[in-house]
Structure 1
Amino acid sequence: MTKRHVLLLDLVDEPESIARYEAWHAAGAVPKPVVASIRAAGIAAMQIFRSGNRLVMVMDVTAAFDPTAKAHADAADLDVVAWETLMDGFQQRLPWAAAGEKWVQAGLIFDLAAQG
């Protein structure tokens, strides 16, 4: 069984920057140690969608996923730190993000399954 997380973030609203960000996320472009760290954390599936400069990340995680443990592991992993530093140059925080918060969790407001 998996749980779904939906997170939001904006990109710097410059076409060239957005194109470079997308190129970094093309199939095979993300460094293998970064992909391995995602999978090792219990993230079973992850997709990022874009509309304009807004990103939506959808993650399906296993019961083993612990976001606090993932954050600590990432801070100790030089490959992940380098990746996040690179990505920070393309990203900007949402205006309502808490201090230090990068990707903001979206709240579920509608679920077709709950409608009967």
Structure 2
Amino acid sequence: MQKYCLALDLNNDPVLIAEYIEFHKNVWPEIQKSITDSGIINLEIYNIGDRLFMIIEANSNFSFKEKEKLDAENPKVQEWETIMWRYQKALPQAKEGEKWILMDKIFELK
């Protein structure tokens, strides 16, 4: 199993942040299916203020490149992503059109 941690910021507006959280209490079934179909076993999103932190646990076949390709071909995922952009803002390190940024692990207690 592979584990990834990613970060993203939200627009710093309490109303928008509350709406974003509500969307994630009822994620569309098609979005959940697209996540599991890509090889993701577990996905968690944490929030503090306007900052989000996501942990992905995926099988050994998972690839961000393949997930991006599948998402681009899925109209329901594209609809969801269009809605989510209303709430999200890219981190300064993001490339054009990129949202979630993969974080580097700098410590692990074993």
TM-score over 0.5 for the pair: yes
1:30-45 counterparts in 2 under 5 A?
Answer: 30-45=27-42
Aligned to 1:98: 95
**Alpha-carbon distance between aligned partners in 1 of 2:97 and 2:87, rounded to the nearest angstrom:** 16
Runs of 4 or more above 4 Å deviation:
none
- For the pair 1:70 / 2:67, whether they are aligned, the reply is yes
Match 2:58 to one of 50, 61, 66 = 61
Query: Larger Cα Rg: Structure 1 or Structure 2?
Result: 1
Quick one: which amino acid aligns to residue 70 of structure 2? Answer: A
1:100 CA drift (Å): 2.7
Report Cα offsets for 1:46-102 as digits up to 9, x if no partner.
Answer: 000011100000000101111111101100100000000000000000112223321
Flag structure 1 segments of 5+ consecutive residues without an equivalent: none
| TM-score between both structures, scaled by the size of structure 1 | 0.92
- For the pair 1:20 / 2:15, whether they are aligned, the reply is no
**Alpha-carbon distance between aligned partners in 2 of 1:107 and 1:68, rounded to the nearest angstrom:** 18
Report Cα offsets for 1:2-23 as digits up to 9, x if no partner.
Answer: 1110000000000000000000
| Corresponding residue pairs, total | 110
Quick one: which amino acid aligns to residue 20 of structure 1? Answer: E
Report Cα offsets for 1:15-35 as digits up to 9, x if no partner.
Answer: 000000000001xx1111110
Aligned to 2:6: 7
Identity of aligned residues (%): 35
**Alpha-carbon distance between aligned partners in 2 of 1:59 and 1:4, rounded to the nearest angstrom:** 6
- For the pair 1:111 / 2:81, whether they are aligned, the reply is no
| TM-score between both structures, scaled by the size of structure 2 | 0.97
Aligned to 1:87: 84
